[in-house]
Structure 1
Amino acid sequence: MANLTTITPIEYLKGVGPQKADVLKKELQIFTIGDLLQYYPFRYIDRTKFHKIKDLHADMVGAQVIGRLTHIQEVGERRGKRLVAQFKDDTGSMELVWFQGASWLKKSLKEGAAYIAYGKPTVFNGQLSITHPEMELFQAQEKKIGNQTMQPVYSSTEKLKKFSLESKGIQRLQQTALEAVYQQLQETLPLYIIAQHKLVSYQKAMLSIHFPQDVHELNAAIQRLKFEELFFIQLRLLHNKQLNTSKYKGHRFDKVGNKFNLFFNERLPFPLTNAQKRVIKEIRLDTNTGAQMNRLVQGDVGSGKTVVALMAMLLAIDNGYQACMMAPTEILAQQHFAGISELLGEDIARVKLLTGSTGAKERRIIHQELEEGTLDILIGTHALIEDKVKFKNIGFVVIDEQHRFGVEQRAKLWRKNVIPPHMLVMTATPIPRTLAMTMYGDLDISVIDELPAGRKPIKTVHFFENQRLRAFGFMRDEIAKGRQIYVVYPLIKESEKMDLLYLEAGLENLQREFPLPNYRISIVHGKMSVKEKDFEMQRFIKGETQIMVATTVIEVGVNVPNASVMIIENAERFGLSQLHQLRGRVGRGAEQSYCILMSSNKLSKEGRTRLETMVRTSDGFEIAEVDLQLRGPGDISGTQQSGVLDMKIANLASDQAILTTARNSVITLFKEDPQLALDKNSLLRQFLMQRTPGISWDKIS
C-alpha cells in the first residue's frame, strides 16, 4: 500500500537525476521512491564476523580479516600494472591485490598499520589472495570495529553499472531515500493485525530490510514484509470472491432431471470414485445458490475430470440451459467431442464440435441451432468466443486446461448471456497449495485426488544415453506383444545452441532400428497442418502404426489405450509438470504401462532432481511442489501472464506457513466485517477502494 511520500518520481531523489532515473526505469522498473524502497537486497554480507587467515578458502562468498599491511609495491607496467600488498595476522599471511587506482592507493594505504580487509578469498598458484578488498583502518580502542552490520547486496546489470549503480551505488540510493522519507512512512496494516501477529512496524521493517543491524532484526523485517505482501494479495482475492457472489447473480439449477439420471444410471462406463462424487455434489450445491459459480477442478491425468464436467453440463440442460466446453487445442477439443458423444449416445443430448477447421456450411448450422436452442452442448476451441457464436440460453461453461487461456478470453464467454453462466475451469496440471491459494484464491477449488479403480501405476525408469540399445530392445518386446509406443522429442530441427537429440535425427535413427515392412512409424509435430496431424493421429489410433514420434504437441488430448510405453528424449530439458503430463498419455488401458526417461550421460543437479522425482513418485501434487521449488511460481501454470504474482519479497515455494496465516487472517476479517466498515479497518477499505473503482460498497454483505 503506497505512502504519499513514496510516490515521488525517482528523478527527484537526491543523487539520481534524469539519466540515472531513465536507466532505473528501463532496467529495474523503478519509477518512484517507493519502487526503490521495494527493491530489496537478494542477500546480505555478515560484517559482524571476523576470520583468521588460516581459515580462509576460495568457496567463501566474502570474509572479513583484521591484519597488518606490510610490503606494499607496484608490480608490472601499463595495462598490467597492479598494487600488491602482504597482509598478515597471527595465523598466516596473504596477498591483497588492486588492478585499478594503484598509484593513488599506494599513497593512501599506510604500510605497517592494522586494517580490516573485506573481500572474496581466491587461490592462484597456491597463493591465497583477495582482489580489490574494502579497507578500513583498525582502531583497537574503538568499541565498534569494522562495518559490524548485515551489509545488503542488490542485483544490478551492466547498464546500471555504467551509471555507478552497482550494488554499492544502489545501497547509497536506498540510504538517501530512507533519509528523505523515513519520518513520513505511514503504517499500512491495522494496528490490531500488527499486534495479533507480533509484527514490527512498517517504518522499522523498511529500515531493517535495507540496513539490518543483526540477523534477528533482519528476520523480523522479512517476516513483516512477507506477511504484508501476502495479506494484501489475499485481501484482493477474497474481496473479489465476495464481490462475485454479491454482484453477479447466477442461474439456479434446482432440479436433477431425466438426462442426468439416465446418464448416471445407465450410461456411466465405470462407477464414479468418491472424489468424483464429492466434486459433483459441490457443483450441485454451487449452482443452486442463485449466485454465479466459479470453481476450479484439479485432477491428475486420468482422474475422470471430463465425466464430472459432462454431468455438470447435463445438470444445466435438465434445468433448461445450454452448455459449452472450451479446450486450448483442436486435438483436445476433438478428443472431448469424440469421448462425450460416445458416452451420451444419440438420445440424451445434442452435441457438436466447433473449431477453426469447421467448414462454413457446418458453422452456419451450428450458429442457427445455438440461437434456436436445439443444440445442447457445444465443444470447441477459441472459435467459441467469436462474436458470431450466440447462444439462446447459455448456463454452464467448462474451460479445460484453463491456464492456456487469458483472462479476457474467459471473460468473453461470461458475456454470452445477460446473467453470466456458471464457470467450471479444469486443469490436469496439479497446482501446489500455495500457488492455488494465490493464483486462484478467488475461486472455489475442488480436487479429484483419486484414480478410477483398476488403473495400474505406470512404471517409470531413467536411462542414460549409453543405455539406448536396452531401450530399443524393450520397445521391440512391447511391440511384439501388440502394444504401441510414443517417442517424444523437445525440438523439431537441430538447434546450434542446444545439443539435443532432435526429432528429425531421432526419426532417422528409429527408422534404421525399426525398418519397414515389420514396423510403421507416425510423426506429429506443431509445424504440420491440422489435416496432416489428424491423418497421422488416426493411423496411430487405429493401430496402423506402432510408434508415434512427436514433439510436445501430444502433451494433452491424446488417448490411445493400447499405447503402453512413453519414451521422452532429453527428459532433463523438460519441466516436471510437462514430464508428468506426457507420462499421463500412457496407462489408459488394462495393460502395464511404462515411461522411459532418456537423458544425456551428464546431468545438472536440477536435471537429476527432476528425473529422480519422476522415477520416485506418480503423485501429481508432490511433483508440482518439487516443480515450484525448482522453477518458482512465474513459470508454472501460466502465472506470469496474470500479474497477481508480481511479488517483491514473498516466495510461494518457501512461505506456505506465512501465506496460510495471512489468508486465514483475511477470512476472519471478512467474517467479522464484510464491508470493512469498522474504523479499525479503514486502512484496508481505503486500499481496496483504490483498486476497485466504481464498486458500490454498500452492496457487499
Structure 2
Amino acid sequence: MHAELELGLERRIGKRSAAVIEKHLGITTVGGLLNYFPRRYLNRGELTPISEVPLDEDVTLIARVVSSTTRQMRARRGSITDVVISDDAGTGPGPRGGALPGTLKISFFNAYRARAELQPGRRALFSGKVTRYAGSLGLTNPDFQLLDEDPDTPGMDPEQLAAMPIPIYPATAKLTSWSIQKVVSTLLDTAEFEDIDDPLPAGIAAREKFLPVADAYRLIHAPQTPADWQRARDRFRYQEALVLQSALARRRAQLAAEEATARRPVADGLLPAFDRQLPFTLTAGQAAVGKTLAGELAQDSPMNRLLQGEVGSGKTIVALRAMLQVVDAGGQAALLAPTEVLAAQHYESIRRTLGPLSRDGLLGGLGPDAVQVTLLTGSLPTAARRQAMLDAASGTAGIVIGTHALLSENVTFYDLGLIVVDEQHRFGVEQRDALRAKASRPPHLLVMTATPIPRTVAMTVFGDLETSVLDELPAGRAPISTHVVGLAEHPAWASRIWSRAREEIDAGHQVYVVCPKIGTDDDGDFSPGEAEPSAADLEGENGARELASVTGVVDHLRDEPALSGVPVAPLHGRQDPVLKSETMASFTANQTKLLVSTTVIEVGVDVHNATLMVILDADRFGISQLHQLRGRVGRGGLPGTCLLVTTLEPGHPSRRRLDAVAATTDGFELSQEDLKLRREGDILGASQSGGRSTLRLLRVLEHEDVIARARQDAQAIIGADPDLGCHAGLAAAIDDYLNPEKEAFLERG
C-alpha cells in the first residue's frame, strides 16, 4: 500500500526537480509532496484587495500594473525600477501617504526582466514581503509571474478559465508557489494512486460522503472549481483528525494496559506530617485535585495526568504532596524543569517548604523521618554531579530535581515511582517517554502547565493525559495591572518608565526589566541576511530597529539619573551557573533592587517583594510568554504592575497581542486569543520548535466539531481493534504522521 507514498520523489519527478524540492522544502518522498497542501487559493479572474494585504508578512497576490518607471540610485551604482500595481478598487489620493487606495508600490533593483515584462495593463501574480516605506505599503524585489500566459488547458472556455482557482503553496524566499505547483502537477501525472491504501475506514468515508483518496489528492492540488478543493480539503482535514485521535487513543489504551506499582498513602508518613505543619489551608481546588492524584497513585495502572493552573495557583504544593505519597510508599519522585535556573529555584523552594522534613538540608532535618531532596543539572561540578547520580541510583534521594540532564542515559533511579514535568510546552511526548523508560515498571506521570490550554487543544495535544484544572488563586495574591506603553505615539514616556521604577524601589520594592536578547552582538529573533534590503535601507534612509539587550540596558540604566545609586544586575542564560545563582540569591535577598534579565525568569521565579515588571520590545514575545512573565510580580500580597513597552506603531499587527494581554489576566481567554492570532498553529509542543506545524489542515479552535467526531470514531476503532490489524491504511498513516523528524529538546534563555 504505503509503498507509493514512501517512494523517493526522484522516481516520479526526476532527479533535478527532486533535488530542488529536498533543498528548499526538506521533502524527499511522494507522500511528503502529495501532503504538502496549498495554503489557500486565488481566483484567477479577481484581483486581490490590496487593503487586506498584511504588513510584514509574505504574500502572494494578483494585481494589474498601473505604471513602471526606472531611475538611477543616489547612494550606489545601479538602477531602481518602480512599478505601481493596483486592484482596480478606486482612484484619487488616499490615506496611505499619498498612495492611491488599492495600489502598492514595488521596487526592483537592476531588474531588466521586470522593466521589460511589467508593462501597464498587464496582470501578474506577485510574491514577496510587504513593508511600509515613506507612509506607503510596498514590496521589494518580489517574484512575479505574468498571468496573461494562461495554463495549458486546451478546450477550456475563457469563463471556465477565469473561475479556475490558483493554488498558493507555503513558499520559501528561493522557491515560489508557482514553481512548487509545476512540480506537483508533474507528480499528479506520474504517481500510482491505485497503490495508496485509504487511511479512512470505508464505513466512515461512506457516512461522511468523502471523495476517494486519489480524487482528493488530484482536486486539492489541481482544482477546476472552488468546490473541488473544498471537498478535497474536508476529506483530508477529517483524515488528519482521525489519524491523530487514533494515535492518541492507541497510546491511551497502551498506557492503561501497563502495570504500575501502586503507591498507597501511609497513615504515619511524611505526607500527613507535611500537612500538619502547613502554615496555610489548601484551597478547595488544591484539596480536590490532591484527592484525585492520591486515588490514582494508589492504583496499579499508571496515572497520566495534566494539571493546568494559572501562574501562582499553587500547583507546586499539589505536586509536592503527590511526591511525598510516593516517597512514603518506598518510591522516588523526579521533577523535570525546563531550565537550570528553574530547577535550582524548585530545589530551594521545595526544601524550604518541607522545612524540618527535608533531610540533611535546611533547619536540621529529622533524620529517618525526612526525605532527601537532590538537585541534578548539567552544570553541577563533577563531584557534586557524581554524588547526585549516586543518590538517585541508590535510592538515598527521595526527590530528584533537574533539567533534561535527568534524561541522559547514565542517570538511573533505584525505584522511580512518579515523574512530575513542569511547564509542559517545553517537553514533547518523546521526553515524557525517555523519562518513563528510566523506571523498571511504568511510573506515574503528572504534567504541570501554567499556560491554560483550551479544551480542543487539550484533546488534540494531550489526548493521552487526563486533565485537572486549578482555577482559583490562593489567598495573598494581588491583582496585576498591565499597560501598553507605546513609544511611537508617546516618546516622552521612555524616561517616565525609569522614574516609575524608582518610585517602586523607594517604596521598598523591587523591579524586573525583561529584554528580548542578551547582548548587542546577537540578533534577537532576526536571522542575519534573511530579508531582502528595502529601497530605504539601500538608499541609507532608515535603519532596522535595535532591540533592547540585557547588556545594553544595564549600561544605560547605570547612567540613568532617575536610578542613580540603585543596585542593578544582569541575568541571562549565557552566564556562569554560579554567577546566575548568586545574582538570583542577591535579588531574592533584596540586595539587588533592579534585575535586567532575558526570559530565564519566565517561570517559577518567586520573589515576593517584586512589584513592577518592565518588558522592553514586548512585541517580540508571544502571548503565553508575556502572561507567564507578568506572573512574577504581585506574588507577596502587594499589587503588581506590568508595563509592555513597544516602539511599533499603534496599527501594527503585533500590537494586537499586547492589547490582548493588557485587557485580561484570564489565562484561558488569552490562550484562545493566542491561537487565533498565531500563524498556522505551532501548538504541538517541543517537536514544533522548527516552525512548521504538524497540523496541516486542522485548526484546533475552528474545527472542534471535526476533532470531537474523529475522537469518537477513533475510540470506537481502537476499542474494537487495539492493534489496528484490520486497518492497515490507518496504522501506516499513524506511523507516518507521528514520525516527523523529532526536534531535539530546546532549552530557552
TM-score bin, normalised by smaller chain? 0.7 to 0.9
State the Cα deviation string for residues 433-467 of structure 1 (Å, max 9, x = none).
Answer: 44433332222233322221342220001112321
Which of 402, 409, 413 is residue 380 of structure 1 equivalent to? 402
Alpha-carbon distance change, 315 to 640 in structure 1, aligned in 2, over 3 angstroms: same
Q: Distance in 1 between matches of 2:437 and 2:202?
A: 42
Alpha-carbon distance change, 691 to 535 in structure 1, aligned in 2, over 3 angstroms: closer
Q: Distance in 2 between matches of 1:514 and 1:101?
A: 54
Question: What is the deviation of 1:99?
Answer: 7.9
Gaps of 5+ in 2: 54-60, 71-77, 82-87, 92-110, 128-135, 138-143, 358-368, 524-543, 740-749
Aligned to 2:742: none
Overall identity of the aligned pairs, in %: 35
Given that 1:117 and 1:135 are in contact with CA atoms closer than 8 Å, whether structure 2 keeps it comes out as no
**Is 2:593 the counterpart of 1:596?**
no
Given that 1:354 and 1:383 are in contact with CA atoms closer than 8 Å, whether structure 2 keeps it comes out as no
State the Cα deviation string for residues 277-314 of structure 1 (Å, max 9, x = none).
Answer: 33223322322331222222222211111111111111
Matches within 5 A, 1:453-602: 453-465=475-487, 466=491, 467-495=493-521, 499-513=546-560, 518-602=565-649
Alpha-carbon distance change, 512 to 417 in structure 1, aligned in 2, over 3 angstroms: same
- Larger Cα Rg: Structure 1 or Structure 2? 1
Given that 1:567 and 1:595 are in contact with CA atoms closer than 8 Å, whether structure 2 keeps it comes out as yes
Which of 117, 123, 134 is residue 148 of structure 2 equivalent to? 134
Aligned to 1:86: none
Alpha-carbon distance change, 206 to 638 in structure 1, aligned in 2, over 3 angstroms: same
State the Cα deviation string for residues 190-249 of structure 1 (Å, max 9, x = none).
Answer: 121123334333233222212323333322211110110121011112201211221x31
Q: Which amino acid aligns with 2:578?
A: K
**Is 2:214 the counterpart of 1:203?**
yes
Alpha-carbon distance change, 36 to 686 in structure 1, aligned in 2, over 3 angstroms: closer
Aligned to 1:23: 20
Question: What is the deviation of 1:597?
Answer: 1.0
Q: Which amino acid aligns with 1:215?
A: P
State the Cα deviation string for residues 88-114 of structure 1 (Å, max 9, x = none).
Answer: x9x99xxxxx986999999xxxxxxxx
Which of 139, 156, 169 is residue 154 of structure 1 equivalent to? 169
Alpha-carbon distance change, 261 to 535 in structure 1, aligned in 2, over 3 angstroms: closer
Aligned to 1:72: none
Question: What is the deviation of 1:174?
Answer: 4.7
Q: Distance in 1 between matches of 2:156 and 2:350?
A: 84
Which of 637, 641, 658 is residue 611 of structure 1 equivalent to? 658
Q: Distance in 2 between matches of 1:50 and 1:545?
A: 62
**Is 2:297 the counterpart of 1:287?**
yes
Alpha-carbon distance change, 578 to 380 in structure 1, aligned in 2, over 3 angstroms: same
Q: Which amino acid aligns with 2:349?
A: G
Alpha-carbon distance change, 21 to 424 in structure 1, aligned in 2, over 3 angstroms: same
Matches within 5 A, 1:634-673: 634=682, 637-640=685-688, 645-652=693-700, 654-673=702-721
Question: What is the deviation of 1:530?
Answer: 1.6
Which of 340, 347, 358 is residue 350 of structure 2 equivalent to? 340
Matches within 5 A, 1:145-544: 145-157=160-172, 160=175, 166-167=179-180, 169-170=182-183, 172-177=185-190, 180-182=191-193, 186-246=197-257, 248-259=258-269, 261-263=271-273, 265-347=275-357, 349-356=370-377, 358=380, 366=388, 369-370=391-392, 372-385=394-407, 389-405=411-427, 410-465=432-487, 466=491, 467-495=493-521, 499-513=546-560, 518-544=565-591
Q: Helix, strand or coil for the counterpart of 1:346?
A: helix
Alpha-carbon distance change, 661 to 498 in structure 1, aligned in 2, over 3 angstroms: farther
Question: What is the deviation of 1:488?
Answer: 1.3
Q: Which amino acid aligns with 2:558?
A: Q
Alpha-carbon distance change, 362 to 157 in structure 1, aligned in 2, over 3 angstroms: closer
Question: What is the deviation of 1:6?
Answer: 4.2
Question: What is the deviation of 1:50?
Answer: 6.7
Q: Helix, strand or coil for the counterpart of 1:354?
A: strand
Q: Distance in 2 between matches of 1:445 and 1:141?
A: 55
Q: Distance in 1 between matches of 2:598 and 2:497?
A: 19
Aligned to 2:62: 62
Alpha-carbon distance change, 205 to 478 in structure 1, aligned in 2, over 3 angstroms: same
Q: Distance in 2 between matches of 1:644 and 1:105?
A: 34
Question: What is the deviation of 1:421?
Answer: 2.0
Given that 2:238 and 2:710 are in contact with CA atoms closer than 8 Å, whether structure 1 keeps it comes out as yes
Q: Distance in 1 between matches of 2:168 and 2:409?
A: 52
Alpha-carbon distance change, 524 to 359 in structure 1, aligned in 2, over 3 angstroms: same
Alpha-carbon distance change, 651 to 324 in structure 1, aligned in 2, over 3 angstroms: same
Q: Helix, strand or coil for the counterpart of 1:482?
A: coil
Q: Distance in 2 between matches of 1:288 and 1:642?
A: 39
Given that 1:9 and 1:32 are in contact with CA atoms closer than 8 Å, whether structure 2 keeps it comes out as yes
Given that 2:420 and 2:447 are in contact with CA atoms closer than 8 Å, whether structure 1 keeps it comes out as yes
Q: Distance in 2 between matches of 1:238 and 1:142?
A: 50
Q: Distance in 2 between matches of 1:667 and 1:457?
A: 42
Alpha-carbon distance change, 182 to 64 in structure 1, aligned in 2, over 3 angstroms: farther
Aligned to 1:85: none
Q: Which amino acid aligns with 1:486?
A: Y
Given that 2:498 and 2:563 are in contact with CA atoms closer than 8 Å, whether structure 1 keeps it comes out as no
Question: What is the deviation of 1:594?
Answer: 0.6
Q: Which amino acid aligns with 1:647?
A: L
Q: Which moved more, 1:404-413 or 1:548-557?
A: 404-413
Q: Helix, strand or coil for the counterpart of 1:166?
A: helix
Given that 1:250 and 1:287 are in contact with CA atoms closer than 8 Å, whether structure 2 keeps it comes out as no
Aligned to 1:10: 9
TM-score of the pair, normalised by structure 1? 0.80
Alpha-carbon distance change, 640 to 446 in structure 1, aligned in 2, over 3 angstroms: same
TM-score of the pair, normalised by structure 2? 0.75
Q: Which amino acid aligns with 2:43?
A: D
Aligned to 2:104: none
Question: What is the deviation of 1:538?
Answer: 1.7
Instruction: Number of aligned residue pairs: give it.
Output: 642
Question: What is the deviation of 1:595?
Answer: 0.5
State the Cα deviation string for residues 396-431 of structure 1 (Å, max 9, x = none).
Answer: 222222444566654453344321322222222333
Given that 1:209 and 1:221 are in contact with CA atoms closer than 8 Å, whether structure 2 keeps it comes out as yes
Alpha-carbon distance change, 376 to 4 in structure 1, aligned in 2, over 3 angstroms: closer
Q: Distance in 2 between matches of 1:620 and 1:676?
A: 39
Q: Distance in 2 between matches of 1:443 and 1:642?
A: 24
Question: What is the deviation of 1:571?
Answer: 0.8
Q: Which moved more, 1:538-547 or 1:283-292?
A: 283-292
Gaps of 5+ in 1: 66-74, 83-88, 93-97, 107-115, 125-129, 694-701
Aligned to 1:627: 674
Matches within 5 A, 1:31-46: 31-46=28-43
Q: Helix, strand or coil for the counterpart of 1:638?
A: helix
